[in-house]
Copies of this chain bind each other. A is one copy, B any other.
Amino acid sequence: MEKLKLVSLKNIKIKDSFWDRYLRLVPEVEIPYQWDILNDNLEGVETSHCISNFKIAAGREEGEFYGAVFQDSDVAKWLEALSYVLMSKRDPEWEACADEVIDLIGEAQWADGYINTYYTIKEKGKRFTNLKEGHELYTAGHLMEAATAYYRATGKDKFLRIMIKFADLICTLFSDENNSRAYPGHQEIEIGLIKMYEATGNEKYLKQAKAFLERRGRIPDYFEEEKKNPAYRMIFPELEDYDRKYAQTHLPVRQQKTAEGHAVRAVYMYSAMADIAAFYKDADLLNVCRTLWENIVGKRMYITGSIGSSGLLERFTTDYDLPNNCNYSESCASVGLALFSRRMAQITGEARYMDIAELALYNTVLAGISMDGRSFFYVNPLEVWPENCLPRTSKEHVKPVRQKWFGVACCPPNIARTLASLGEYAVFQNGADVYWNLYLGTEVTLDLDGHRTVIRMETEFPAEGEVKLTVLSDKDYHGNLFLRIPHYVKRFDVSSCGRKTEYEGIKGYAKIPLDGERQELHISMDIEPRVIRSSPRVRENIGKAAVMRGPLVYCLEEQDNGKNLPGIYLDPGSLRECYREDILGGVTEIRASGLRAVETGWPEEDLYSEEKICWKRTELTFIPYAYWCNRTPGEMLVWVKELQKFQEGQNGKDQSMGVHN
C-alpha cells in the first residue's frame, strides 16, 4: 500500500481559463471578506464574533461569548485557506495579520494547552464533559489543519508549537490509559492529528487518531457514559432524540457498510480512516473505506457530487433516495467527499476516485460560491422553485439565492480552503512517476527522484478537450506519467510530435513513459454534451435525463427558459453546444429542443380535470450547474423530463411501444 504523494502547493502554479475566476477570489475576495466577517466589520451579515471571542478568551477584552460551540473553527479554516494562498504567493500584510491571530490564539491557550473560546468564556468548568456535542475536538482538528498548513506555507512554527501543546494535551487526556473510551461527536480531530503527525513525525498523534476511530460504535456507548458526569450539560436539545447513526456510532467503524448519518461527519471520518489504513497498511480498514465509498457513489450520491438526501439533520437516508428539491447536499459534504476520494485515489492509484473528486469540485463545491465570492449556498438542491422555498415549511433549508453568511458558517471558509488547495487534487507524485488528475492550465515543478522537472499543462478544458503538456527535465530522467482518463470520455488520444502514442491503461490512468530533457504531449478527449439517466432504482428520476459535458453537470435556469421548468420535456437527440462570451464570464451553453406544458391552455379555475395538457415546442438553454443563480435568481432544474421511445427488454433492442392517447 504505497500512498501517492501530494505536491506542495508552492510548486503548483495554476493559470486556467476555467478555474482562475474562482481561484483568484480566494486572495482577492474571500480572505479579506471573511476577515471582515470574523471581525464583525460587515453590516447586514450574520454576526460571527470569532475574533472577539478569542480576544475575550485571551483576556484582551471584556465581553460575552457569541456563536456556536464550534465558532472557533471558522478562524481555523480561514487561516488554513490563507496558508494555501501564501503557498502560492507570500503576502507580508496578510501574513502579519495571520501572525496576530496566531498570537491571539496563543494567548487564549490555557497553560496546559487547551484552546476553545466557548468553554474558556462560557463554560470553564465543563471542558471535555460533553464530547458528543461540545465540538472541542472538532475545533482542535481544524486548528491543527490550519497550523500545519501555515507552517508549510511560511516555515514559521509558532502556530504549530501551540497546536503541538494542545495535541499533546489531547493525547494525554484521551490516551488508552486515561480515557480509553472517549471519542468526538463530530469527527475532524482525526484528520488534524494525522496532519500533526505528518508535520512533526510524532507517531503518537497517528495512534491517537486511530484510537478515536476505533472507539466509535463500541458498547457501552461513551456518549451515554459521559452523561453520568455531574458536569454534563446538553447543548443541542434538538438532538435529544439522538440516533446513533447520526455521528456514525451505530457500529464499530470496521463493521460499517453503508454511509449513514450526518454527511459531513461521515466523509471526514472516512477520510481519516483511509489515511490510517494507508499509514498502518491496514487492508481490512481500506476495504471498509472502499465499501463505504462505493455505497455513497453507487447508491447515495447526487449527479452533482453532493450527498445528504434529508432536509432534516443533513443526513444520508436510504439507498437510491435522491429527492431533488428538498435535499440537503451541503457544500461541506462535497468538500469532504472530495477529500475522502482523493485519499482513496492516493492509496489505491485508481482514477475512479478522482472522477468523483472532480465531480464534487466542478459542480457542488463551485455552486456553493457565487462568482463574485460574496455569497454562498449551504444547501445545494437540484431543483428550485423559489416562490416555494418558504421558512417554516419542509423546504425552509432550501435557499433560492446564495446567502452572505450563515449562523453556522462552515461552508464559506471550507469552500475557500478547498479552492486554495485545488493543486493538491491536480497532481500526485510517486518517486519518478507523476499522476495527473485534473486537466487545467498549470505549471508544476517537481523533484522526481532527484530530477528537477517542470510539467506545464495548457488547455481550455472543460471548454475544449484538447490539452498540451510539456515536460522539461534532464537527460537522465526516466519515469512515467499517469494521465487520468476521465470515465466520461469515449476517446482519449495521446500524441507526441503528431504521432499517436500507444499507452497502457492502468487503473483508469494512461501510462506514458517519460524520458529525457523535453517532451511534448498532446491529449485529445471528446467532451461532447451527453444525456445521462439515473438507475431506475432512483424513483425521483425515472423518465428524466440530465445533461453533462465533461465533468460539468448542466441545468436549466428560469432566466433562459422561463418558468415551470418541470413542465419541460427534453428531446435527447437535439443537444448542441454554443460558446457564449457575453454571459457568466464566458460559458459553453448547451442548446436543445423539446416540448413544454402550456399553462394558458388550461383553465385557471380547474386544478384537476380529464383534459390533457397542451404542449408547444420549445428551445432550451442549459448552463453549468456550478454557475446557477449568478444572474437573475429564479427556478433551476437539473433532471429534466425526457421525450422517449420506450425500449423493451433487457437486451436493449429498440422497439417503439407506440404512443397512447
Q: Mark A325-346, 1 if CB is under 8 A from B, else 0.
A: 0100000000000000000000
State how many angstroms separate the Cβ of A151 from the closest Cβ of chain B.
40
The CA of A385 and the CA of B539, in the complex, are separated in Å by: 9
Query: Contact partner of A657 among B531, B595, B608, B612, CB < 8 A?
Result: B595
Q: A566-B542, A571-B660 are in contact. Are A598 and B532 (CB under 8 A)?
A: no
Q: Is A579 positioned at the interface, with any CB of B under 8 Å from its CB? A: no
Contact pattern, A 384-405, Cβ under 8 Å of B = 1, otherwise 0: 0101101111111000000000
Interface residues of A in 462-516 (CB under 8 A from B): none
Considering the complex, which residues of chain A in the window 289-326 have a beta carbon less than 8 Å from any beta carbon of chain B?
A: 294, 297-299, 301, 303, 309-313, 315, 317-318, 321, 323, 326
A581 within 8 A of partner (CB): no
Q: Which residues of B contact A617 (CB under 8 A)?
A: 648, 657
User: A317 touching B614 by the CB < 8 A rule?
Assistant: no
**Max count, chain B CB within 10 A of own CB: residue among A311, A315, A608, A613:** A608
Contact partners of A246 in chain B: CB under 8 A = 392
Nearest CB of B to A538, in Å: 7
Residue A93 is within 8 A (CB to CB) of chain B in the complex: no
Asked whether A656 lies within 8 Å of B659 as measured between CB atoms, the reply is: yes
* A559 within 8 Å of B (CB atoms): no
Contact B615–A391 (Cβ < 8 Å): no
A318–B612 CB distance below 8 A: no
A394 to B540, CA, bound (A): 15
A535 adjacent to chain B (CB < 8 Å): yes
In the complex with contacts A388-B321, A391-B243, A610-B532, A616-B659 CB distance below 8 A: no
A543 at the interface (CB under 8 A from B): yes
Partner of A532, one of B543, B608, B659: B608
Nearest to A543 among chain B residues (CB) is B641
Known contacts: A536-B602, A609-B532, A659-B645. The answer to whether A614 contacts B385 by CB under 8 A is no
Within 8 A of B (CB), among A370-392: 385, 387-388, 390-392
Inter-chain contact A536/B609, CB cutoff 8 Å:
no
**Binary interface encoding of chain A residues 585-615 relative to chain B, with 1 for a CB under 8 A from any of its CBs, else 0:** 0000000000101111110111111111111
Are B648's CB and A616's CB within 8 A?
Answer: yes
Q: In the bound complex, do residue A661 and residue B645 qualify as a contact, i.e. CB atoms below 8 Å apart?
A: yes
Contact between B661 and A659, CB atoms less than 8 A apart:
no
* CB-CB nearest in chain B for A245: B392
Contact B313 A641 (CB under 8 A): no
Taking a contact as CB atoms under 8 Å apart, the answer to whether A536 and B597 are in contact is yes
Contact with B along A610-636 (1 / 0, CB 8 A): 111111110000000000000000000
Find out whether the CB atom of B390 lies under 8 angstroms from the CB atom of A318: yes
- A155 lies within 8 A of chain B by Cβ: no
- What residues of chain B lie closer than 8 Å to A530, measured between beta carbons? 610
Q: A539 is contacted by which of B299, B566, B600, B607 (Cβ under 8 Å)?
A: B566
Closest-by-CB residue of B relative to A320 is: B607
Q: B598 touching A536 by the CB < 8 A rule?
A: yes
A564 within 8 Å of B by Cβ? Answer: yes
Give the docked Cα–Cα distance between A243 and B396 (Å): 13
Which of B394, B598, B648, B656 lies in contact with A394, CB distance below 8 A?
B394
Is A535 a contact partner of B392 (Cβ separation < 8 A)?
Answer: no
Interface string of A545-570 (1 = CB under 8 A from B): 01000000000000000001011010
Residues in B neighbouring A535, C-beta threshold 8 A: 599, 602, 604, 606-609
Assembly CA distance A604 to B615 (angstroms): 35
Tell me if A533 is interfacial: C-beta within 8 Å of chain B.
Answer: yes
A255 in the interface, Cβ–Cβ < 8 Å? no
A601 to chain B: which residues have CB within 8 Å? 536, 649-650, 652
Residues from chain B with a CB closer than 8 A to the CB of A654 are 661
Q: Are A613 and B536 in contact (CB under 8 A)?
A: yes
Could you tell me if B392 and A311 are in contact, using CB atoms closer than 8 angstroms? no
B residues less than 8 Å from A574 (CB atoms): 660
Tell whether, in the assembled complex, residue B315 and residue A393 are in contact, meaning their CB atoms are under 8 Å apart: yes
* Chain B positions within 8 Å of A317 at CB level: 388, 390, 393
Chain B hits for A606, CB < 8 A: 298, 535
Q: Is the beta-carbon distance between A313 and B392 smaller than 8 angstroms?
A: yes
Cα separation A15 to B492 with both chains bound (whole Å) = 76
The answer to whether A396 touches B312 (Cβ under 8 A) is: yes
CA distance A309 to B546 in the complex (A): 27
Q: Which residue from chain B places its CB closest to the CB of A544 in the assembled complex?
A: B543
Q: Is A32 an interface residue (CB 8 A)?
A: no
Looking at the complex, which one of B310, B326, B610, B649 makes contact with A533 (CB distance below 8 Å)? B610
A539 to chain B, nearest CB (A): 4
Q: Does A180 contact B (CB under 8 A)?
A: no
* A536 vs B603: C-alpha distance when bound (angstroms): 10
Contact between B394 and A310, CB atoms less than 8 A apart: yes
Given the complex, which residues of B lie within 8 Å of A648, measured CB to CB? 595, 614-617
Cβ B602 vs Cβ A393 within 8 A: no
Answer yes or no: A573 CB below 8 A from chain B CBs: yes
Name the B residues within 8 Å of A597 (CB-CB): 536, 542
Of the listed residues A294, A391, A393, A607, the one surrounded by the most CB atoms of chain B closer than 10 A to its CB is A607
B residues near A313, Cβ cutoff 8 Å: 392-393
- Nearest B-chain residue to A568, judged by Cβ: B542
Given A393-B315, A654-B661, A659-B643, CB of A536 within 8 Å of CB of B599: yes
Q: Is A287 an interface residue (CB 8 A)?
A: no
The complex places the Cα of A611 from the Cα of B649 at a distance, in Å, of: 13
Partner of A608, one of B303, B543, B572, B599: B303
Chosen A-B contacts, 30 in total, with CB atoms closer than 8 Å, are A241-B392, A294-B605, A303-B608, A310-B395, A313-B392, A315-B392, A315-B393, A317-B388, A318-B390, A321-B385, A532-B609, A533-B611, A533-B613, A535-B599, A535-B609, A537-B564, A539-B564, A539-B566, A542-B613, A546-B608, A572-B661, A601-B650, A612-B647, A614-B649, A614-B652, A616-B649, A643-B646, A643-B659, A644-B661, A645-B659
8 residue pairs, one from A and one from B, having the closest CB atoms: A536-B597, A310-B393, A311-B394, A539-B566, A601-B650, A615-B646, A645-B659, A643-B660
Given contacts A246-B392, A535-B602, 7 further A-B pairs with CB under 8 A are A241-B392, A309-B393, A311-B393, A317-B393, A535-B606, A537-B564, A538-B607
